[in-house]
Amino acid sequence: MDREKALTAVHDRIRRCTQCALHIGRTHAVPGAGPVDALVMFVGEAPGFYEDQQGIPFVGAAGQLLNELLEKIELQRQHVFITNVIKCRPPGNRDPNPEEVLACQAYLEEQIDTIVPKVIVTLGRHSMARAFPDEKVSIVHGHPRRLDGRVYFPMYHPAAALHQPSLRSVVEADFVQLRALLAGEVEPEEYAPPPEAEQLSLF
Ligand code: URA
């Protein structure tokens, strides 16, 4: 199957998914948006109110900020792939629970394996925790790492910068660093997980 068809097939399955209770309250599942040959994949946490209404990721306030940040480094939104760890909105925008993350994880894996992005940008701790469960965004943000043949670039979630305006300049600086990474001006560090850490490494 060609990659375009493979991605469409995953997205069709996500739209019909009933593997966790979140399907009961959803208006739309939100598989993700962007081209199958995207070099950069942004992985947020979960759809919010507007995303659930429209079936498109990052269309609310955090999405507006994401658009501005992309524009600043001259990355066009239609050239990147944007998705979330979980594809249906949790009630009241609460944090995703482990069962929901587990129910959705194969979809994200399939998206990554189909798109094979050069860089996976994790937005916020829920997204980062899939690859680096023992890390803190406040410490590792803005530092690219290679793990199991994939390059990750952890960042704060844009919503964090909306709630805490002092983080805005940090997030902007990380986007500049992302541009440098894409231009080959920065080398990702080879990540060696601490031996005692229980490795989820599910991305
Ligand atoms: N926040 C997210 O993590 N994802 C969205 O799609 C929107 C807001």
End-to-end CA, the chain:
22
Residue 52 belongs to some domain of the structure: yes
Res. 197: pLDDT tops 60:
no
Residue 194 Cα to ligand 1 midpoint, Å, equals 30
Cβ of 177 below 6 Å from ligand 1: no
Closest CA to 120 of 182, 197, 170, 66: 182
> Would you place residue 8 in the very low, low, confident or very high pLDDT band (cuts 50, 70, 90)?
very high
With cut-offs at 50, 70 and 90, classify the pLDDT of residue 159.
very high
Q: How far is the CA of 61 from the centre of ligand 1 (A)?
A: 9
Distance 30 CA to ligand 1 centre (A): 10
Instruction: Tell me if 44 CB under 6 Å of ligand 1.
Output: yes
Pocket test for ligand 1, best of 50, 58, 121, 157 (most atoms within 8 A of CB): 58
Q: What is the CATH classification number for the domain harbouring 139?
A: 3.40.470.10
46 assigned to some structural domain: yes
* pLDDT at residue 201, as a whole number: 57
- Segment 11-31 shows an average pLDDT of 98
Which tokens sit at 41? 């994949």
**Is 168 inside any structural domain?**
yes
Domain count, the chain: 1
Cα→Cα distances 65→1, 121, 154, Å:
36, 15, 17
Contacts of 7 (CB under 8 A, 6+ apart): 36, 111, 114, 115
Give a yes or no: residue 196 inside a domain. no
- pLDDT, one tens digit per residue, over 124-137 is 999 999 999 999 99
**191 within domain boundaries:** no
List pLDDT tens digits, range 86-141. Answer: 999 999 999 999 999 999 999 999 999 999 999 999 999 999 999 999 999 999 99
CA of 48 to the centre of ligand 1 (A): 6
Domain residues for 126? 3-182
Rounded to whole angstroms, how far apart are CA atoms 46 and 87? 6
Is 119 part of any domain? yes
Q: Is 90 in the pocket of ligand 1 (CB under 6 A)?
A: no
For residue 198, pLDDT beyond 60: no
Residue 82 Cα, ligand 1 centroid: separation in angstroms? 9
pLDDT value at residue 195: 75
Q: Which of 51, 66, 82, 104 to mutate to test the pocket of ligand 1 (most atoms within 8 A of CB)?
A: 51
d(CA 82, CA 195): 32
Q: Which atom of ligand 1 is nearest to the CA of 44?
A: 3
Looking at the domain assignment, is residue 188 inside a domain? no
Q: Is residue 108 part of a domain?
A: yes
The answer to whether the CB of 174 is under 6 A from ligand 1 is: no
For residue 50, pLDDT over 60 is answered with yes
| C-beta of 84 in contact with ligand 1 (< 6 A) | yes
